[in-house]
Amino acid sequence: MFASLAPWNSEFSSAVAAELESEPFVTFSLANVDRNGLPHTRTCVYRGFLFDDAKTNILLFTCDKRSSKYKDLIANANFEACFYFHKLHKQFRFSGAARVITDDQYPIISFNKAKLAMKLQEQNVNQENGNKEDGLVVEQEPDFYSSRIDEVGATEPITYRVLSPSQSQAMNYSSTSLADLNKPTIPPTEAEWKAERQRCWNALSRSLKRSFKRPAPGTQVTEEKYKLLDSINRGVDGTSSGQENFVVVCLFVKAVDLVELTGGVDRRYLYKKSYDIDAWKEYEVCP
């Protein structure tokens, strides 16, 4: 089965497009915990979908490899990302696991059929329990918002169907046939992950690229560092490009909570991904 748009994707993409009509970029709040279990929330800039392809359903943002944000995600990759779109009065809360693309690291995609079979069995049990009337969805599925416990660190393999861009491109250029559908899914190669990081770097403004040349985030400003910051801002520092500190963070979405504030009868929808297959369970629930 090849990648396809998740049921929440069109609503989200439309909201992003509407926001960008009057705003230079879209921001969101990222919540995660550090290695001591302390919570942190940060404002990040949304950088589109992985491989510039909405069908991946994987959201991107960027950060500095020396930042505490990066170190926190490496220790515990579980996240929640909250977007609020003022024009359309919609809020999206995404939950899942983060993975990173750096100068020496990229996501390892796992297609473990044994684990998938086990998870599908659990899913069927949850679905049977969910047939009870008046039950809360989050009570029917205790792990509704959580990622898998064996995928805590951002360096661990992740079970998610991600198609190699070259395979996806070949499918787009040819008519889909039964033979195509029976072909095994090919995950992205190391070269394709590196090319994606380069694409994201090229999309940054000149001033934002310069920010990766600054002294490590959070370090105390000294006279020497102040002079370096000034020379970087003026473009006369003579240091490296800073790209070695550039990180692309991939948000592998596993659950979505959408609230639509209509001014009348508000609506709320929950979406849960069925692990590495392209299937989502969808519920309409009370706001």
Prediction pTM value: 0.88
In the block, residue with structure tokens 């926001």: 19
Give the span between the Cα atoms of 127 and 281, in whole angstroms.
9
Give the span between the Cα atoms of 63 and 239, in whole angstroms.
19
Phi then psi dihedrals of residue 266, to 5 deg: -65, 155
Phi then psi dihedrals of residue 63, to 5 deg: -155, 175
Closest CA to 237 of 256, 224, 250, 222: 224
Question: What are the tokens at 188?
Answer: 């992205």
SS3 content of the chain, % helix, strand, coil (to 5): 35, 25, 40
Question: What are the tokens at 40?
Answer: 């942190």
pLDDT of amino acid 239 = 76
Residue type, 120: L
Question: What are the tokens at 247?
Answer: 């990180």
Beta strands 27-33 and 39-45: pairing type? antiparallel
Give the span between the Cα atoms of 59 and 254, in whole angstroms.
11
Please compute Rg for the chain using Cα positions. 20
Give the span between the Cα atoms of 44 and 30, in whole angstroms.
7
Give the span between the Cα atoms of 80 and 285, in whole angstroms.
20
Give the span between the Cα atoms of 43 and 17, in whole angstroms.
19
- Structural domains of the chain sorted by starting position, each given as residue range(s) with its CATH number in brackets: 9-205+244-285 (2.30.110.10)
Beta strands 246-260 and 158-159: pairing type? unpaired
- Scored b (16 or more CB within 10 A) or e, 23-50 reads eeebebebebeeeeeeeeeeebebbbbb
Per-residue confidence of the chain (287 residues) as pLDDT tens digits?
Answer: 566 899 999 999 999 999 999 999 999 999 999 989 899 999 999 999 999 999 999 999 999 999 999 999 999 999 999 999 999 999 999 999 999 999 999 999 987 654 554 454 554 545 444 444 456 676 566 567 665 554 578 888 898 888 899 988 777 655 454 445 556 778 999 999 999 999 999 999 999 999 999 999 999 999 999 998 889 888 888 778 899 999 999 999 999 999 999 888 999 999 999 765 678 999 999 99
Closest CA to 265 of 281, 279, 252, 284: 284
Residue 193, SS3 per DSSP: helix
Give the span between the Cα atoms of 202 and 73, in whole angstroms.
24
Closest CA to 70 of 218, 220, 256: 218
Beta strands 109-110 and 158-159: pairing type? parallel
